[in-house]
Amino acid sequence: MRQNNNLILGLTGSIASGKSTTSNYLKNKGFKIIDCDIIARELLNEKKIISLLVSKFTTSILSKDLKIDRKALSKIVFNDNSKRKLLDDLLRPYLMEKIDKEIDIVDNKIKNSIIILDCPLLFESNLDKFCDETITIDIDYKIQIERLMSRNSISKDFAKKMIYSQLSSKEKAEKSDYVITNNETLSSLCNEINSILNAIIIKFIGTKIKRLEVVSE
């Protein structure tokens, strides 16, 4: 594992698990967030990446302004596992490089604190290698399906395909240092987040973390 000035806390969870809600809560608490989804979206706007993806998936993935149409690309890769793997393999080295650089930038700006690496594919992309500790947001499958269908206005079949394209919540949980179950209220979720953060602060205080107060709502 790399040596950082701060504690890198990996945050992951299956789609519609509440990971983004957790990330926003931590951001509002004052923690620095490195959002891998934002980095990935920025990557898709780069000319070399657009050319690379068009060469593999044709111009059908382009919008009218010749940018990557993320919805069109999603339909292709979520309906074909081989194409999804191809996309992951194509983007992974570029994504890893950008995330590595972003961690360096943030790590040199602040010292002895917690940096959150918010990444839905933390384990699938081996980005957990950047982290000192990891948290998975777990959720009941039935609740997850309902949330995803409602949030994205998609069919149950397509929601299942999106969920099955990632490691299951159980697999992510098994790989994580900490697991937060998000089957109840927002208040319950926040209480679990605070409890785990405090455990991490106590574990690392005096080493990677200094002068960080116990977290409460």
Q: What is the pLDDT of residue 1?
A: 54
Give tens-digit pLDDT for 136-171: 999 999 999 999 999 999 999 999 999 988 888 889
Query: β-strand 133-138 against 7-13: which pairing, if any?
Result: parallel
Q: What is the pLDDT of residue 214?
A: 47
* Cα distance between residue 200 and residue 178, in whole Å: 10
Residue 123: half-sphere exposure toward Cβ, Cα within 13 Å: 20
Give tens-digit pLDDT for 27-62: 999 999 999 999 999 999 999 999 999 999 999 999
Q: Is 113 strand, coil or helix?
A: coil
Angle, CA 177 vertex, CA 111 and CA 209 arms, to 5°: 20
Give tens-digit pLDDT for 87-109: 999 999 999 999 999 999 988 88
Mean pLDDT of 53-79: 95
Q: Which residues are CB-neighbours of 127 under 8 A, at least 6 positions away?
A: 10, 36, 96, 99, 117, 119, 121
The pTM of this model reads 0.87
Give the pLDDT band (50/70/90) at residue 212: low
Query: Which DSSP category does 129 fall into?
Result: G
Angle, CA 162 vertex, CA 19 and CA 115 arms, to 5°: 25
* Cα distance between residue 99 and residue 39, in whole Å: 7
Q: Which of 204, 200, 157, 162 is nearest to 76 (CA)?
A: 162
Which domains occur in the chain, in start order?
7-204 (3.40.50.300)
The token duo for 139 is: 């959720």
Give tens-digit pLDDT for 162-201: 998 888 888 999 999 999 999 999 999 999 999 999 999 8
Q: Which of 97, 181, 104 is nearest to 137 (CA)?
A: 181
Q: What is the pLDDT of residue 210?
A: 62
Highest mean pLDDT among 57-66, 74-83, 107-116: 57-66
Q: What is the pLDDT of residue 39?
A: 96
Alpha carbon of 43 to those of 34, 51, 92, 208, 214: distances in Å?
Answer: 14, 12, 11, 31, 36
CA dihedral sign of residues 126, 77, 119, 22? negative
